[in-house]
Amino acid sequence: MKILVTYKIPFYEEVVESLKESVTLGKINDLDETYGGMLCLLTDKITKEVLDKGKNLKIIANYAVGYDNIDVEECKKRNILVTNTPCDEVNEAVSEFTWSLILALARQLEPAANFAKNVGYRGWEPDIFIGTDLKNKTLGVIGAGRIGSIVATKAAAFGMKVITHSRTSNTKLEEVILSADVVSLHVPLTPETRHMINSKTIFKSGAILINTARGPVVDESGLLELLQNGSLAGAALDVWENEPYPRPELIEMPNVILTPHIASATKSARLAMGKTAVANLVAFSLGQTPPNLI
Ligand code: GLV
Ligand code: GLV
């Protein structure tokens, strides 16, 4: 089976070794009827039109945990298997990065660091960059999957209480958000979660929002309103509604941190993602059920 790999992913040689001569490194546009498998990125939009070109595709291994870039329903109709890359290394990397953002936002790390490097620090002053402490505050975790659960576990280190909301829990989304000092999103992007956070969302006074899930879970124009009228004290967004284009107004706000979709960007996570994606392709080519079937 010929396999198209759409990007020279980190640790490429090591990762694709077990697929050997069946692999072609190319672009999504190179997809044609000669390919039976594909390893693609979350920036590859796998639409009906793309699937029409890959007439003989049998399996798509997405190099990501989220798979909202793929028309999974259409793949099902065409009997194309889709797999993703959930793994401990990614869960840890994303949850550690989530905490980096929480701490950075609570303590004004970005404006303070910029001030120190660029503006001219005159000596210790008691009243600059005063932040919020986390101890005894409440973390609201939205989505209680693997990543959300690990984020919640780490809250104990900071003496925070945790409340969670998920599709299957009996807590109400509105109540969790209203009671949390820090709201962190860990849901997949689906029609139900799109714009889950919007101008009508009511946050606790002084609350901050963290998004390391998918940009469109937050309606950014609504978010902007909440930030501008003080209903939300700050936001840290690793994912945006229209990547790679940040909403211009957000760039200007000192209480907003924008990072370029790097929550899973650690060496061990990238290596594990590659190995997981390839393991799914290998299992399929051996006639086995791929371990991370969606
Ligand atoms: C990254 O965003 C992923 O879904 O793995
Ligand atoms: C701060 O640097 C202090 O010593 O209180």
Ligand 1 pocket, mutate which of 90, 185, 189, 190 (most atoms under 8 A from CB): 90
Res 170 pLDDT > 90: no
Residue 93 burial (C-beta neighbours within 10 Å; 0-12, 13-18, 19+): buried
pLDDT in tens, 95-139: 999 999 999 999 999 999 999 999 889 999 999 999 999 999 999
Give, to the nearest 10 degrees, the angle between helix 267-285 and helix 88-106.
150
Per-residue pLDDT at 60: 98
- Bridge partners, 197 (sequence order): 218
Sheet with 81-83, strands from edge to edge, namely: 23-25, 2-5, 35-40, 59-62, 81-83
In the chain the beta strands, taken as DSSP E runs, fall at 2-5, 23-25, 35-40, 59-62, 81-83, 138-142, 161-165, 182-185, 208-211, 234-237, 256-258
50 lines ligand 1 (CB under 6 A): no
pLDDT per position as a tens digit, 262-273: 999 999 999 999
Listed in order, strand segments (DSSP E) in 169-255 are: 182-185, 208-211, 234-237
261 is catalytic: yes
Q: Give 57-105 pLDDT, tens digit per residue.
A: 999 999 999 999 999 999 999 999 999 999 999 999 999 999 999 999 9
At 76 the pLDDT is 98
First to last CA, the chain: 21
pLDDT exceeds 90 at position 169: no
The one catalytic residue among 146, 214, 247, 270:
214
Q: Residue 97 Cα, ligand 1 centroid: separation in angstroms? A: 13
**Mean pLDDT calculated for residue range 193-216:** 98
Q: Does any ligand 1 atom lie closer than 6 A to the CB of residue 66?
A: yes
259 lines ligand 1 (CB under 6 A): no
What amino acid occupies position 115? F
Considering the candidates 74, 110, 225, 243, report the single residue annotated as catalytic.
243
Can you list the domains of the chain with their CATH numbers? Answer: 3-84+267-285 (3.40.50.720), 88-258 (3.40.50.720)
pLDDT one-digit tens code per residue, 192-203: 999 999 999 999
CB-ligand 1 contact for 197 (6 Å cutoff): no
Tokens of 23: 């692999």
Q: What is the Cα–Cα distance from 233 to 41, expressed in whole angstroms? A: 34
